[in-house]
Structures are given as C-alpha cells and as structure tokens.
Amino acid sequence: MQSSPALGSPKDVLSIRDFRNLWIGQAISRIGDALYFLGPLFVVKKLFNDDAMVGYVGALEAVPWLLFGTFAGAMADRMDRKKLLVWSDLLSTIVLVAFLVYLLLLQGDPPRWPFYVFGPLLATLRVFFMPAKNAVIPRLVPPEKLMGANAFSAATDQFAWLLGNMLTALLGSIVESFSPGRFLQVMVIANALTFAVSVWFLVKLPSVEPERDNIHESHMFQDVVKGIEYARKDEVIGLSLLASFGLALFMSPFFVVYFAINQQWFDNKVATVALIEGCFIVGMLAMSFIVPKMKFHRPGLAYSLGLGLAGVMVVFMGFSPFVTLYAFWNLVCGFAIGAVDVPMRTYQQLKVPDEYRGRIMSLGMLIWMSVQPFGMALGGAILKILGPVLMHMVMGLGFAFTGLAPLMSKAFREATLPDISAQQQEDILEKSELEEAQIR
C-alpha cells in the first residue's frame, strides 16, 4: 500500500487541482520575468556602458508600484482575483508583442527611449498580478497546508528565476556575438511566449471573489485607507512592512553593483552575472524546502535573524574580488533570506481576514517597489563615489540593522503563527469542496 504524501509537501499541495494550475502559470510567467529583467539591463550596459542608466531603467520599472500599488491591492479585495491574474498576463503578452514589432522594424541597435517606456508599461500590468496571486493562495489550499504551499510557491519563484537566468546566459552566449539588439529580440520573444502559456493555465482557475459583503458601500480610496489602518494597528505586520522599507533601500542597488563588479573584477560576461545571481537563488530555493520542516513558530524572530545574517554575507562580498568566493557568499546569503519570507508571509495570510488580504499583500510590494526607484537611481552614482568595497559595506550593514531593529519590540519577537481552529478548517474545506462541485 502506498503511503500518502506528507502534509504540505509539494506532492500534497500539487494534488489540489486549482493550486496546481496557479503554480504552473506562476512558474512559466516567472521564467519570462527573469529573462526580461536581466536581458535588457545587460543590453543597456553593453550598448551605452552607463551604470547610471542601468539604475534608472531598473528604477523606472518600479515606479508603477508607487503609483498604483495600493489601488491594485484594493482591486484584489473588490473583484474576482482570477480576472486580475488573467488580464495582467494577457495584456503583458500584448505589450511584449508590440515591443517586438518595434524592434523588428528598427534599423540597427535600439536607442535609449524604449528602455524607459516598455519596461514601466509592463511593470504597470504586473502590479495587479502579485497582490491577487498572494491573496488567492489561502483560498485554494486548506490552512494546515498553507506553510507548505507558500514554501513551494517561493521555491518555484526562485527556481523559475534561476532557470530564467540560466536561459539568459545560454541565449546570451549564442546571440550576443551578433548584436545586443538581436539578443534583446530573443528575450522579448521568450517572455511573450511565457505570458501566453501562463494565461492558458490561469483561465482554468475558479472564480475567487473576496469574502466581504460591503464591497459597494465604500469607495476604493476608502478601501485603501482602511487597509493601511489595519496594517498600522497590527504591530507585527506594521514592523515587518517597515523592515521591508529598509531591506528594499539597501538591496535595490544590487544589480547596479553586480554589473559594475562584473566589469571591474570579473570578465564582463552575462553568464557571470547569471552565475552570481543563480547562487543566491539556489540558496533561497533550498531554504524554501527546508522552512516547512523546521516548523517555524516565531516568524518575527526568523525574519530578523535571517536579515542579520544576510547583512554579514553582503559585507563579506565586498572583500571577495574572486568569482567563486563572491558566488559562495551569495549562496549563503540566499539561505539567510530564504528563512525570512515564507514564515512572515504565512503569518500575514493566516492573521489577516480575506477581505483585507489583497491590500496587506500589496502594501509589502508597494513599500518594496516604491523604495527601489530611489535606491536604484542613487546606486550607480554612490557606487562611483564609494567604490565596490565600501558600497558592499553600506548595503550589508543596512541589511543587518533593518533585520535586528524590530527585535526591540516584544510583540515582534514573540509573535507566533495564528492557530486555526478545527471548526475554521472544516468551514474552509467545506467551502472549497462546494466551489469545486459547482465548477464540475
């Protein structure tokens, strides 16, 4: 007789059909994100050799979060979250096809302006995808499997990003010998295909309407204010969001630094940047599988210690002008960061009622992405002043302070994952079975 899969294991959560479709769509779409993020930045560096422009291009892609992040979360708490997911990926496909047509009609290498236009436009559509996705997961899996589902989702994010980096390096080694413009065309085609395939799986999801009765009794702006007020009143969630501000500030210059040290210390090949970033992702990927087995009961403590350790690793990177050693510190840093996200995300999903979940999920991304324009735009300029060694020290010490400062709060230190009563679990499972029966 075959034994049943462990509760919350990948095999267990993938046995849930709706989560499986979301997972496949997420994985494919994430590979495309990796292809398109690293590829254009590398093309900018190759074509214009301008660290500041690398920072500006990355920063502009974060601006839509500042403009629309809170409203995207409010929309995820007002309308069918499945529709937000499908339309986000469908419109992203259309934008990339339009960009590809422009590149094919262009004579020679692309000028600067398309890098400042198409990236932010695509990022605007992605703003509405992330809060909806994170709010959907707790509706597709029972509470006792949520930690495992989050860990597997996080692992998928990291593995897909790693695979995207590997494909970028492979395609880059083949195509970049012709021209950076041709390399960019290949990246755009690959990303458009991933979004199109993602839509195919996302349309199979059931309708996921927010669990609230007063949607039409308040304006969207009022919903935004209520979501912020909810986060402010919960000390643990509020401090985790505040810590994400510091983390984003000190992490945002990383790709600017990667490309600069690749030119100064290493061989200035896209494969080297992909290797360094890949080691970080492998660490996060491995930790995503380990976290559920460790049974974290204090998400705040895990969050702080993980960021503190990551800060030390970043400082070590600044004194490691050797590819192998630099990649090793990135690997260890990935292990540390991997212990941060899943327990805190699970805490938020279990603690926050479904009617607020989209807004709280979007606040974390809003803070992260709205700080990035500032951090990335200044990254290249500060790097020129400080140099790579001091720049790593500033980022590493910033990581450590960001992680350890919330430990001054007793509520944050002692926060535990909320208990879900047997009756709540039974109600949620009964509702899930009813929804699945209606679909059939």
Helices and strands (H, E) in the chain, number of each type: 18, 0
Confidence of residue 336 (pLDDT cuts 50, 70, 90): confident
- Per-residue pLDDT tens digits for 285-301: 787 777 767 766 788 88
- pLDDT, residue 329, reads 93
pTM score, whole prediction = 0.69
Highest mean pLDDT among 12-16, 145-149, 200-204, 220-224 belongs to 200-204
Highest mean pLDDT among 151-165, 337-351, 361-375, 405-419 belongs to 405-419
Q: In 385-414, which positions are buried (b, 16+ CB within 10 angstroms) versus exposed (e)?
A: eeebeebbbbbbebbbebbebbbebeebee
- pLDDT, residue 430, reads 45
Q: Reply yes or no on whether the pLDDT at 188 is more than 70.
A: yes
Which of the residue ranges 198-207, 233-242, 277-286, 373-382 would you say has the lowest mean pLDDT?
373-382
What's the length of the chain? 440
* 160, 31 Cβ separation under 8 angstroms: yes
- Per-residue pLDDT tens digits for 147-180: 778 777 877 877 787 777 677 777 666 655 667 7
Helix (H) or strand (E) run with residue 33 in it: helix 17-48
What is the C-alpha to C-alpha distance for residues 263 and 221, in angstroms, rounded to an integer?
46
Mean pLDDT of 85-100: 91
- pLDDT, residue 218, reads 63
What is the C-alpha to C-alpha distance for residues 41 and 266, in angstroms, rounded to an integer?
17
DSSP assignment of 70-82, as one string?
HHHHHHHTTS-HH
Domain 16-204+235-439, CATH among 3.40.462.10, 1.20.1250.20, 3.40.50.970, 2.10.50.10: 1.20.1250.20
Mean pLDDT of 336-345: 77
- Per-residue pLDDT tens digits for 221-274: 677 777 778 877 888 888 888 888 888 888 888 878 888 888 889 877 777 877
- pLDDT, residue 423, reads 39
211: left (phi over 0), alpha (psi -120 to 50) or beta: beta
* 417, 296 Cβ separation under 8 angstroms: yes
State the average pLDDT for the chain.
Answer: 78
- pLDDT, residue 367, reads 78
The structure tokens 């990022």 sit at 123
